[in-house]
Copies of this chain bind each other. A is one copy, B any other.
Amino acid sequence: MNAPTHASHLQPNSHTPVVAQRPVPPEMIEALKARFGERCSTALVVREQHGRDESAFSVPPPSAVVFAQSTDDVAEVVRLANAHKVPVIPFGVGSSLEGHLLAVQGGISLDVSRMNQVLRINPEDLTVTVQPGVTRKQLNEEIKHTGLFFPIDPGADATIGGMSATRASGTNAVRYGTMRENVLALEVVSASGEVLRTGTRAKKSSAGYDLTRLMVGSEGTLGVITEITLKIYPLPEAVMAAVCSFNSLADAVNTTIAIIQMGIPIARCELLDDNTVRIVNQQSKLTLPEGALMLMEFHGSPASVQEQVALVQSIASDNGGASFEWASTPEERSRLWTARHNAYFSGIQSRPGCRAITTDACVPISRLAEALLDSVQEAIDAGLPYFMVGHVGDGNFHMGYLIDPNSTEERDTAERLNTRLVERALRLGGTCTGEHGVGLHKQGFLIDETGAGAVAMMRTIKQALDPNNIMNPGKVFAL
């Protein structure tokens, strides 16, 4: 259903993101300073801090940074920006991997990290309402006393606003879904500076267009998210985590596929290749068995967890897996998952001075072996340092090509590998991005994946909702 039916647009462009700076008139900066005082900064160090993210791009910083403390602050900035046709780029903690936060057309960085209040906890309804600058770890800390938790966990301690804007997921998505499934309602400041509400705290609704899910994943291009209502979940009665090593990556992947096809409700199902296990061991001072390694977690009642474990052990054993090594205490579990979450940074640190070009393909589960194994082999053959981690239970995996940012050759090699990997994923019925978003880097891939017609429909929606093209312009698609 999703094979490209048109000329290829695959054009990763980490070399030269198009930069067409739009002027920020001095009177707008003055108006911002009059309104926000010290919370509007034009200091170079602050602008530079807000002019980069975890992507490998380098572009000039925004003209100013405003630190919002309320929805009214956000609305005021957007209204001013709209009047002056100046770009506004929402900023949380800067953990985007795809250039979402870069001021490619100039403008104002709107930092919402101080909007970090957990506004309402409704344990009786399994919902919570937060401001966009709340981070996922902060949220879990603040709801811990209720016996509930929020499962979505991208590697970084990202903000809930940023996670909503990129439709993020993480290691628990295989059981609990992504931000798509877990955002119930939003407050949004539209491009004209109007404050809108989408959705309710009811679990389901057929009330008109699904504006909530249109905003989730829109990467700041349709409005600024100022409040998020999320589903939360009872902490499972029993939790067990294990690692299992395999002689070959193929055996580990085939184990994963069988687990998912049998419908086992595994809570986490992650994979690292042997190269990545070595990097993680070194950087996180661990002694994980150095083969292809599955990291798993099981949630449920004690009996149901036992049942899941027995089934998975038997599948792993059939595929040549070693016996499980258990992380039985909460401390051991925490150390294991922290190491997994830090794999990206471990990768970066393993080659001092490098930048990572990261892939994010996601394919139907039956095609995972083909998608993943060939991609890893190509990286090995190319001789480029890399890491490979995967939310493989979802059919999603990441290659991180660790390039010398000053080497054009390495950058070209990484982009060539990236392009082949995405072409393969699309051919197998998958997507170029499972959870990171399009940003700057995947715009050509997006056209290949969904077709020029669907991207034109996205652009039409953008133009209708943001006629002055002020909301994070130049992301998702060229405009």
Contacts and interface: CB of A to CB of B under 8 A. Distances in A.
Interface in A164-207: 166-169, 173, 177-178, 180-181, 185, 187, 190, 194-207
A94 B283 CA distance: 62
A261 interface: yes
A218 interface: yes
A431 B438 CA distance: 32
Contacts of A307: 301, 303-304
A453 interface: yes
A442 B129 CA distance: 27
| Interface bin, chain A | 35 or more
Given A196-B457, A205-B433, A460-B465, A213 B450 contact: no
A84 to B, nearest CB: 22
Contacts of A476: 208-209
A395 B203 contact: yes
Nearest to A439: B206
A338 interface: no
A61 interface: no
A268 interface: no
A172 B469 CA distance: 42
Given A200-B430, A206-B217, A214-B214, A460 B453 contact: no
Contacts of A203: 362, 364-365, 394-396
Contact of A208 (B177, B209, B301, B455): B455
What is the count of identical protomers in the complex?
2
A216 to B, nearest CB: 7
A227 interface: yes
Nearest to A454: B196
Contacts of A463: 464
A74 interface: no
Contacts of A196: 451, 453-454, 457
Interface centre among A208, A209, A363, A451 (most CB of B within 10 A): A208
Contact of A303 (B210, B304, B458): B304
A352 interface: no
A202 B434 contact: yes
Contacts of A430: 200-202
B200 A453 contact: no
Contacts of A99: none
A366 B124 contact: yes
B464 A208 contact: no
B395 A206 contact: no
Contact of A185 (B2, B218, B304, B465): B2
A122 interface: yes
Contact of A207 (B195, B429, B432): B432
A97 to B, nearest CB: 11
Interface centre among A168, A180, A303, A394 (most CB of B within 10 A): A180
Closest 6 CB pairs of A and B: A464-B464, A124-B366, A125-B364, A213-B213, A234-B263, A205-B431
10 contacts: A2-B185, A122-B366, A126-B260, A178-B204, A197-B451, A198-B450, A201-B430, A207-B449, A208-B438, A210-B217
Given A196-B453, A206-B360, A209-B218, 12 more contacts: A180-B210, A190-B457, A195-B453, A197-B451, A200-B449, A202-B434, A206-B434, A207-B431, A208-B477, A234-B262, A234-B263, A303-B307
